[in-house]
Structure 1
Amino acid sequence: MSKPFPRAGFRRRLGSYIYDFLMAVAVYMLAGFIVSVPYLYLFDQGIIDSQGYAHAIDLLNSHWFYVTLNEAWKLFWVGFFFVYFWAKAGQTIGMRAWRLLVQHQDGSPINKATGCKRLLFTLLGLGNFWVLFDRKNKLSLQDRMTDTEVVVLSVEANRAAMG
């Protein structure tokens, strides 16, 4: 970027977080729906042992293996959503709405590896609360741990980033 943009404060990040939380819930639900179709088919065909349960959903919600596998699948896709958009355009859907961009502190775009590290240190969004204690630098926990920053784009720069 030729012109440096100011770092985002907590309120703007919170607004973006709310939008992205709703998107993450939608991705989570869609991933759950997608996995349920083959699971129900395999259960009905007897390929998955019912283990005494009358309904497939009872087994899915009760057996540690299926619970773990199902949750891991859904959380993978939620994580993929964030990493994909951060690495592709530096913005999730919520970030676009609030004109935010994640980038390295030198202004260069982040890659998938950095996106994965950011996701880990985000702590389900709680890492953003660090900004409240770092008013001078406006860096979240995930920013500090990955040498990244979230900046506020001008309206023109945000339009250019979307195009």
Structure 2
Amino acid sequence: MSETTSEPLPPAVLWKRLLAIVYDSLIYMALAMAYTALVLFIQVQISGEPAPGERASMGTLGFIGLVFFLSSFCSFCWRAKGGQTLGMKAWRLILVNEEGKKPSWGQCYIRCLLAPIMFCLGGIGYFYALIDKESRTLHDIFSKTRMLQLPKSK
């Protein structure tokens, strides 16, 4: 619901959602680089330097940790920062559950895990919003959340 009126907020349009993702991806890349540097630093401290010609690798456990770290960052933004990442703030988007309230941690993690999969499948999960009457993506539907457009501030 809008804070100034009792009218419900409209669903976010796909192009704004995608632009928010582009903005957020820069933050995620920086976080991923910092996480990777920390993991590799810890590995070197525990195991020593890689042999000459051997590449450093986080391994499967490090990758799972990275996914958890980035998902936790996103979920924290949606739960504790008013339902918005920085990219969403720039485009005045907000994430809510189906009742219009703050999404649960579970809903946030489901979105975080499904959204990249939907993107990697040719964007089908995102493009579903073009045919859905409520402009929902598939990860909106599966996580029982909605992305809404906030009004311009006066």
Alignment match of 1:43 (pick from 28, 40, 47)? 47
The share of aligned pairs that are identical, in percent, is 28
The aligned residue for residue 31 of structure 2 is 27
Question: Is there any run of 5+ residues in structure 1 with no aligned partner, and where?
Answer: 45-49, 158-163
- Aligned Cα root-mean-square deviation (Å): 2.2
**Residue deviations 1:38-80 (CA, integer Å, cap 9, x gap):** 2111123xxxxx8xx514x92643xxxx521221222221111
**What is the 5 A alignment of 1:1-163?**
1=1, 2-44=6-48, 54-55=51-52, 58=54, 60-61=56-57, 66-88=58-80, 89-124=82-117, 126=119, 127-134=125-132, 136-156=133-153
Label 1:103 to 1:94 Cα distance change in 2 as closer, same or farther (>3 A). same
Amino acid at match of 2:96: Q
Aligned partner letter, 1:106: E
SS at match of 1:145: helix
Q: Please tell me the residue identity of whatever aligns with 1:132.
A: L
d(CA) in 1 for partners of 2:41 and 2:143? 38
Query: Match of 1:160?
Result: none
Alpha-carbon distance between aligned partners in 1 of 2:118 and 2:38, rounded to the nearest angstrom: 25
CA contact (8 A) 1:28 1:75 kept: no
Count, aligned residues: 144
Based on CA coordinates, which of the two structures has the bigger radius of gyration?
Answer: 1
- Quick one: distance in 1 between partners of 2:88 and 2:24? 8
